[in-house]
């Protein structure tokens, strides 16, 4: 199962909104087939693992290990449980039952009804952690939420307006390696969200540039639609959702999705609901302080990844505050990265 989890990670950022499942076929003490979920719409892990077995005769005396219950329904592909049954594999070891409405035990039942010996709950905790995005989306009907920011030694995320000289670009706190890591993180999530003031002050691109992979869907708050037309987030280069209070569609730009939210009501829950509707299973929230703090107040976050750089601002916008202690702290050259989990 550990190997299944390792394989499943290869689908991070590409399988979604499908879960990034990993699967191996074992005959005796040898792995004879391996697979992981193909990019969305393609074959599932079990199909790839079974197809990778060279000698099909061995399947009848093999076991199949898979991180999540095999599907039992026709989605973009036929049910994996049917393929497993047809392949004649007699023993199936499953990490977790799939909470998806259309599966939820039906895949396990189908396998048992066909005479397979099925064991569920192998490395349950590790599989839950591996499938955290998918499980949060299915069970809580919201994306997996990662908060991320960079603060100075003295706890600021932005300098004073005077220090910026009205120049809309990010004011950098962290080093190049930390920046590259952030681009890797962006490639792993389906959405990236920033607040209105961040767009106005930074004119951010919010794309994956220093890493391989797909850029996430950009999501920006813009109550009054004040973002200048020439700003990067409106360039249409990446899928973008603007969360606004403006209902006049003539103010909307082609190629951008607009969603109305009520800025007088708690925002984090509304934003989560919009992202859920757009099938965004995970989001990284890159600031600013007010936006991050909103998710902290509403207790709608799963992880926080906080960089501390070496510079000092003396004044400016204070970083958000989290009451938990970090689970892990590591150095990225002179920057410190602290990881928090909202358990």
Ligand X SMILES: Nc1c(N[C@@H]2O[C@H](COP(=O)(O)O)[C@@H](O)[C@H]2O)[nH]c(=O)[nH]c1=O
Is 66 a residue that touches ligand NDP (CB under 6 A)?
A: no
Is 177 a residue that touches ligand X (CB under 6 A)?
A: no
Is 130 a residue that touches Zn ion (CB under 5 A)?
A: no
Is 214 a residue that touches ligand X (CB under 6 A)?
A: no
Is 150 a residue that touches ligand X (CB under 6 A)?
A: yes
Q: Which of ligand X, Zn ion, ligand NDP, none lies near 182, with the C-beta cut-off 5 to 8 A by kind?
A: ligand X
Q: Is 202 annotated as a binding residue?
A: yes
**If you compute the radius of gyration of the chain from its CA atoms, what whole number of angstroms results?**
23
How many residues are listed for the chain in this entry?
Answer: 343
Is 69 a residue that touches ligand X (CB under 6 A)?
A: no
Residue 238 falls in the annotated catalytic set: no
Nearer to Zn ion among residue 45 and residue 181 (C-beta): 45
Binding part of the chain for ligand X, among 48-56, 67-75, 202-210, 272-280 by CB under 6 A, reads: 202-210
Three-state DSSP string of the chain: CHHHHHHHHHHCCCCCCCCCCEEEEEECCEEEEEEECCCCCCCCHHHHHHHCCCCHHHHHHCEEEEEECCCCCCCCCCCHHHHHHHHCCCEEEEEECCCCCCCCCHHHHHHHHCCCEEEECCCHHHHHHHCHHHHHHHHHCCCEEEEEEEECCCCEEECCHHHHCCCCCCCCCCCHHHHHHHHHHHHHCCEEEECHHHHHHHCCCCCCCCCCCCCCEEEEECCCCCCCCCCHHHCCCCCEEEEECCCCHHHCCCCCEEEECCCCCCHHHHHHHHHHHCCCCEEEECCCHHHHHHHHHCCCCCEEEEEECCCCCCCCEECCCCCCCCCEEEEECCEEEEEEECC
What track of x and - describes contact with ligand X for positions 246 through 285 (by CB under 6 A)?
----------------------------------------
Question: Which listed residue (6, 34, 46, 162) is catalytic?
Answer: 46
Nearer to ligand NDP among residue 128 and residue 223 (C-beta): 223
Is 243 a residue that touches ligand NDP (CB under 6 A)?
A: no
What track of x and - describes contact with ligand NDP for positions 148 through 187 (by CB under 6 A)?
-xx------xx------------x-x--------------
Binding part of the chain for Zn ion, among 28-36, 44-52, 83-91, 230-238 by CB under 5 A, reads: 44-52
Is 80 a residue that touches Zn ion (CB under 5 A)?
A: yes
Q: Which of ligand X, ligand NDP, Zn ion, none lies near 9, with the C-beta cut-off 5 to 8 A by kind?
A: none
Q: Is 150 annotated as a binding residue?
A: yes
Nearer to ligand X among residue 122 and residue 311 (C-beta): 311
Work out whether the CA dihedral 328, 333, 336, 339 comes out positive or negative: negative
Q: How far is the CB of 322 from ligand NDP (least distance, A)?
A: 14
The residues that are catalytic are 46
Site for Zn ion, rule CB under 5 A: 44, 71, 80
Q: Which residues are part of a known binding site for Zn(2+)?
A: 44, 71, 80
């Amino acid at each position: 199962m550990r190997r299944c989890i390792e394989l499943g990670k290869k689908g991070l950022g590409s399988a979604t909104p499908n879960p990034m499942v990993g699967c191996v076929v074992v005959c005796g003490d040898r792995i004879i087939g391996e697979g992981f979920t193909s990019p969305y719409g393609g074959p599932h892990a079990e199909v790839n693992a079974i197809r990778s077995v060279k000698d099909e005769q061995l399947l009848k005396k093999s076991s199949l290990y898979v991180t999540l219950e095999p599907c039992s329904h026709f989605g973009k592909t036929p049910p994996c449980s049917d393929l497993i049954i047809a392949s004649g594999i007699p023993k199936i070891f499953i990490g977790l039952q799939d909470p998806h409405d259309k599966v939820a035990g039906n895949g396990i039942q189908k396998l048992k009804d066909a005479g397979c010996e099925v064991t569920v709950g192998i490395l349950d905790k590790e599989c839950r952690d591996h499938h955290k995005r998918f499980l949060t989306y299915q069970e809580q009907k919201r994306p997996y939420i990662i908060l991320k920011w960079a603060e100075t030694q003295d706890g600021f995320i932005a300098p004073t307006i005077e220090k910026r000289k009205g120049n809309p670009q990010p004011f950098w706190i962290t080093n190049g390696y930390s920046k590259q890591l952030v681009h890797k993180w962006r490639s792993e999530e389906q959405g990236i969200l920033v607040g209105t003031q961040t767009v106005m002050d930074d004119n951010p691109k919010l794309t994956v540039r220093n890493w391989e992979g797909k850029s996430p869907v950009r999501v920006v708050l813009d109550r009054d639609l004040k973002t200048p037309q020439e700003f990067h987030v409106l360039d249409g280069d990446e899928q973008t959702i603007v969360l606004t209070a403006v209902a006049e569609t003539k103010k909307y730009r082609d190629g951008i999705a607009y969603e109305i939210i009520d800025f007088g009501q708690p925002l984090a829950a509304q934003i989560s609901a919009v992202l859920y509707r757009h099938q965004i299973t995970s989001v990284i929230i890159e600031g600013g302080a007010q936006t991050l703090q909103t998710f902290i107040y509403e207790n709608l976050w799963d992880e926080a990844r906080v960089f501390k750089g070496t510079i000092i601002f003396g004044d400016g916008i204070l970083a958000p505050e989290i009451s938990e202690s970090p689970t892990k702290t590591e150095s990225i050259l002179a920057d410190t990265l602290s990881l928090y989990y909202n358990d």
